[in-house]
Amino acid sequence: MDNIKRYKWILFLACCLLVVLIPIKITNNISAYAKILPSKEFVVIKGSNGQIITHLINNYSGIVEEIKTIQVDREDFASLNLKTKSSNISKGDTVAVFTSSHTNLIIEEAKGEIYIQEKLLDAQLSGEKSSVITEQEKIYEISKINYTNQETIFNRAAALYKSGLISVEEYDLAKNLLAKLKLDEEKEFQNLLSLKSGLKQEEISVTKGRIDILNNEKKILEDRASSYNLISPFNGFVFGSNSIDTLFSISETGSYVALIPIQFEKSSSINVNQKVTFLNLDSLNSITIQAQDSQIKLINGMKYVIYKSQFQIDKKLVNNIYECSIIGEDTTILEVIIKKINSIFKIS
């Protein structure tokens, strides 16, 4: 018994050394949580000045790939109609239609002006001016009446604005319309003078040039109106919103991204191409780590390294956080001790 007590430390060290040297493999898995997101999201928000702003977000790279803005004039009356709510859509589908009363009005005005100029050109080329002059006199009289009526409306709006009964937008709308009708009246008067005074070849050329310009303006306006349609950039699912600022969003389906934050102290044992298994996700068994984020993130005051993977799956996954396990290489106790010493003393 005395001999045993005398050599107990030697026996203890021998047992420890035996345990360390025996090549017993230990599973080196790391428990973690993965946040699964769609690979891309298309988010539509309302700007502070009435703009419609779209963001195309790449959740794998973590950047906004594209930003577009639909801007309307201050006095415009615009609306957004969401055609598809809480449903699957395909790439290229029209999700929402944005309409602008001001743009539509300008398009119709351009069409009307083109019609008038074409009739004027016909008269200039044919020389049959008497009926055209009579028609132009009627148009001029109508423009005078329109201006007079709008002047009365504007005077009433000015009085209401001074009394604080209408907004500045309504006042500006009445004021701008009055100025436009005045210009229309002067334009029709000049057209009437041209018809009565006789025409030169230069005037015919001017009319033709005016028609070309108006046609170009109309095409630009029509292209602008068509760009108001919001098109899905990928196959996805539309989510409506009750937020004042976020109007709706589209999440890509079929392609997803897993973001796995790991504490900085544990990150040294994780490498790209390691397998990740999910514990409570029947539709997804496992994935492979594809990349490591270059920046260290602070979460609740602690340093984390973000590992990520992009994968395709037919089933729709809801944005959520899932428990997972990162499968590490089997290692011996001796290897664990050596790695620990290396991490402490930074031995290469």
CATH number of the domain that residue 33 is part of: 2.40.30.170
Q: Residue 139 and residue 276: Cα distance in Å, rounded?
A: 77
CA 252-254-255 angle, to 5 degrees, is: 70
79-82, long-range: CB < 8 A, 24+ apart = 80/52, 80/247, 82/238, 82/240, 82/247, 82/248
In a domain, 292, yes or no: yes
In a domain, 181, yes or no: no
In a domain, 309, yes or no: yes
Q: Residue 71 and residue 74: Cα distance in Å, rounded?
A: 9
Per-residue pLDDT of the chain (348 residues; tens, 9 = 90+): 555 555 555 655 655 565 555 666 666 788 899 999 999 999 998 877 767 889 999 999 989 999 988 776 554 555 666 766 667 888 888 888 777 666 677 777 888 888 888 877 777 676 556 667 778 888 888 888 888 888 888 898 888 888 888 888 788 888 888 888 888 889 888 888 877 766 566 677 777 888 888 888 888 777 766 667 788 899 988 888 777 788 889 999 889 999 999 998 888 778 899 999 988 787 788 889 999 988 888 888 899 999 999 998 877 777 788 899 998 776 665 565 666 666 565 544
Residue 309: predicted pLDDT: 94
- Please give the backbone phi and psi of residue 113, each rounded to the nearest 5 degrees, phi first: -70, -40
In a domain, 231, yes or no: no
* pTM as predicted: 0.58
In a domain, 317, yes or no: yes
Residue 200: predicted pLDDT: 60
In a domain, 210, yes or no: no
Q: Residue 296 and residue 307: Cα distance in Å, rounded?
A: 11
Residue 41: predicted pLDDT: 94
Residue 27: predicted pLDDT: 66
Bridge partners of 322, per DSSP, are 34
Q: Residue 84 and residue 110: Cα distance in Å, rounded?
A: 32
Other Cβ atoms closer than 10 A to 70: 19
CA 232 to centroid of chain Cα atoms: 10
Residue 348: predicted pLDDT: 41
Residue 347: predicted pLDDT: 43
In a domain, 64, yes or no: no
The residue type of 221 is L
Residue 49: predicted pLDDT: 72
Q: Look up the domain containing 301 and give its range.
A: 28-37+254-345
* Cβ atoms 174, 152 nearer than 8 A: no
In a domain, 164, yes or no: no
- Structural domain count, the chain: 1
